[in-house]
């Protein structure tokens, strides 16, 4: 998909569709909408008066062969109340434009940004939104709707002096949008097409192409390094585990500078192991590698964006299967750090593999940690599919992340980590146990378990179990993987 800037006056633009947005109770005779209203002989005003064009959030009004314009269609999207309008709404509007027009066989359109939406950040966010909304999950469908695709989007409404910075934003937006879709492609793969070995191969290929350093630890190396927590999960499967390490080093790297460690859970399929999950809905557990895929996608973006800080991405990957050699409830395992773990539920496997991932990232030099994981069903109970659950050991570090989430339009909500919750995972027969002792707070005890391995290193945990998968197609987003938290973490790294 090509995304460019359009310079022609609105009336002269030849396109399949001209798109803009209007506000609820807004004056359609003002600003960019006003210009279009005038060109079309007051069309927008008439529709607004008749009640057909209200500006209610994501309302779509499609007009064919609008008089006064060279465009074949005029699509007007509702932007809701002006005082509640923000970049999240604008992203949705851009996404609705893509999906609405694509489904009607339109191949190119011109998106007119409203006055005040012409800065660099806005150009970046709508570019991301165009790419992210265009993503489809039809890879394995043999009959593709090949005629339904958008080739070119032009963005109009910038003054000549605004164009250079808008271009910059669009370039960055393309890198990030494509990285997010790269992650979503990985998450979409079923477990027979994406084993830990295949994920490692794909990560390695991406890293080499992007000019990043990459190392893949196989099951032998993992055993030599005594990553007992990762191995304990892997032992129930015929597929061997992998530990994926991708490193970005800035050209001006200085000794003693911060190093960010990004650790992602990549369970390519989670049956629950011996504590097996119910059959209903189990197919969704192919997305239990979304945290790892997110971190790999972030590295892809960073290779192009070149931040000033070193970043180490560590992705432990395995299946969680109930094979004959599988670990059993009550088994005691020794993590790489030396801590002993009582495995009371083999379905709480994410925290086990992250224990070794986090410890290894620290050993490699990480001074600031973030992990992302589809960790708990409990986070869906707490926050549904709306907010990512955020947990942190250091409020300064956590606040930085929350600011990045806000800036990139990703909804995240911090949950508490009082010491009282730590008591829930004190072990009876080993140092710690992998589930809380039946007093609720499932997402927090999961976070505390990982924190035990982060120690004093500032650490953030993102529970993306509720948000990494979109159950129902939205007018701006396909059903399936979302790639959530990639944008926030890229922003966080870039802010160093
Ligand atoms: N992969 C699951 C968490 C999950 C649930 C992801 C729903 C996506 C959607 C995780 O490994 C798991 O099974 N967690 C258990 C933990 C429990 C045994 C303490 C859970 O949430 O039920
Ligand atoms: Zn599980
Ligand atoms: Zn899992």
Q: What is the CA radius of gyration of the chain?
A: 24
Give the separation between CA 130 and CA 180, rounded to whole angstroms: 12
Could you tell me the distance, in angstroms and rounded to a whole number, from the CA of residue 421 to the centre of ligand 3?
Answer: 21
Query: Using CA atoms in the order 145, 481, 377, 424, what is the torsion angle rounded to 10 degrees?
Result: 170
pLDDT digits (tens, 9 = 90+) for 44-103: 999 999 999 999 999 999 999 999 999 999 999 999 999 999 999 999 999 999 999 999
User: Which atom of ligand 1 is the closest one to the Cα of 267?
Assistant: 1
With CA atoms as reference, report the closest residue to 17 among 66, 80, 86: 66
- What the block records as the tokens of 192 is 């027979």
User: Could you write out the DSSP letters of every residue in 345-360?
Assistant: -TT--HHHHHHHHHHH
46: left (phi over 0), alpha (psi -120 to 50) or beta: alpha
Give the separation between CA 495 and CA 305, rounded to whole angstroms: 12
Say what the pTM is: 0.98
Specify the pairing of strand 108-112 against strand 152-156.
Answer: parallel
How high is the pLDDT of residue 468? 98
CB distance 371 to 265 below 8 Å: yes
Query: 99 catalytic, yes or no?
Result: no
Q: Where is 311: in which H helix or E strand?
A: strand 310-320
Active-site position among 81, 277, 422, 474: 277
Active-site position among 242, 351, 451, 487: 351
Beta carbon of 435 within 6 Å of any ligand 1 atom = yes
How many other C-beta atoms can be found within 10 angstroms of the C-beta atom of residue 225? 17
Query: Using CA atoms in the order 363, 366, 367, 369, what is the torsion angle rounded to 10 degrees?
Result: -110
Beta carbon of 465 within 6 Å of any ligand 1 atom = yes
Beta carbon of 374 within 6 Å of any ligand 1 atom = yes
CB distance 250 to 176 below 8 Å: no
Any idea what DSSP says for residue 411?
-
Beta carbon of 348 within 6 Å of any ligand 1 atom = yes
How high is the pLDDT of residue 146? 67
Nearest CA to ligand 1 atom 17: 348
Ranges under pLDDT 70 in the chain: 145-146
User: Which atom of ligand 1 is the closest one to the Cα of 349?
Assistant: 11
Q: Where is 63: in which H helix or E strand?
A: strand 60-64
How high is the pLDDT of residue 143? 85
Nearest CA to ligand 1 atom 7: 377
Query: 277 catalytic, yes or no?
Result: yes
How high is the pLDDT of residue 489? 99
């Amino acid at each position: 998909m090509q995304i460019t800037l359009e310079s022609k006056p609105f009336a002269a633009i030849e396109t399949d569709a001209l798109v803009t947005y209007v506000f609820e109770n807004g004056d359609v005779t003002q600003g960019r909408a006003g210009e279009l209203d005038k060109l079309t002989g007051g069309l927008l005003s008439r529709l607004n008066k008749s009640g057909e064009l209200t500006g209610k959030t994501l309302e779509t009004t499609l007009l064919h062969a609008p008089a006064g314009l060279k465009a074949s269609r005029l699509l007007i999207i509702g932007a809701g109340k002006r005082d509640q309008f923000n970049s999240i709404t604008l992203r949705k509007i851009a996404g609705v434009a893509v999906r609405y027009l694509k489904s009607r066989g339109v191949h190119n359109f011109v998106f007119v940004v409203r006055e005040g939406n012409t800065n660099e950040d806005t150009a970046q966010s709508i570019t991301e939104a165009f790419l992210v909304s265009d993503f489809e999950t039809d890879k394995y469908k043999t009959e593709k709707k090949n005629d339904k695709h958008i080739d070119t989007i032009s963005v109009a409404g910038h003054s000549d002096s605004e164009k250079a910075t808008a271009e910059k934003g669009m370039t960055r937006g393309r890198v990030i949008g494509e990285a997010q879709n790269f992650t979503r492609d990985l998450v979409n793969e079923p477990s027979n097409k994406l084993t830990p070995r295949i994920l490692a191969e794909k990560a390695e290929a991406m890293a080499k192409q992007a000019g990043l350093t990459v190392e893949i630890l196989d099951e032998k190396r993992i055993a030599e390094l005594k990553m007992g927590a990762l191995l304990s999960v892997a032992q129930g499967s015929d597929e061997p585990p992998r530990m994926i390490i991708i490193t970005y080093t800035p050209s001006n790297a200085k000794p003693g500078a911060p190093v960010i460690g990004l650790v992602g859970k990549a369970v390519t399929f989670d049956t629950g192991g011996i504590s097996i999950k119910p059959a209903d809905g189990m197919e969704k557990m192919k997305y239990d590698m979304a945290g790892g895929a997110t971190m790999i996608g972030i590295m892809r973006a960073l290779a192009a964006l070149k931040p000033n800080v070193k970043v180490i991405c560590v992705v432990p990957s395995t299946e969680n299967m109930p094979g004959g050699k599988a670990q059993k409830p009550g088994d005691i395992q020794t993590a790489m750090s030396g801590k002993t773990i009582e495995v009371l539920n083999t379905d709480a496997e994410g925290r086990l593999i992250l224990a070794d991932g986090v410890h290894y990232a620290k050993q490699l030099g990480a001074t600031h940690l973030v992990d992302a994981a589809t960790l708990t069903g409990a986070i869906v109970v707490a926050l549904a599919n709306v907010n990512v659950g955020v947990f942190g050991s250091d409020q300064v570090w956590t606040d930085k992340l929350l600011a990045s989430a806000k800036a990139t339009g990703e909804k995240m909500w911090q949950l508490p980590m009082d010491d009282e919750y730590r008591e829930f995972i004190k072990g009876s027969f080993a140092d710690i146990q992998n589930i809380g002792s039946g007093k609720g707070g499932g997402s927090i005890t999961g976070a505390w378990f990982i924190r035990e391995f982060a120690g004093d290193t500032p650490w953030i945990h993102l529970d993306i179990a509720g948000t990494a998968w979109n159950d129902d197609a939205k007018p701006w987003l396909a059903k399936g993987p979302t790639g959530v938290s990639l944008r926030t973490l890229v922003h966080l790294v870039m802010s160093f």
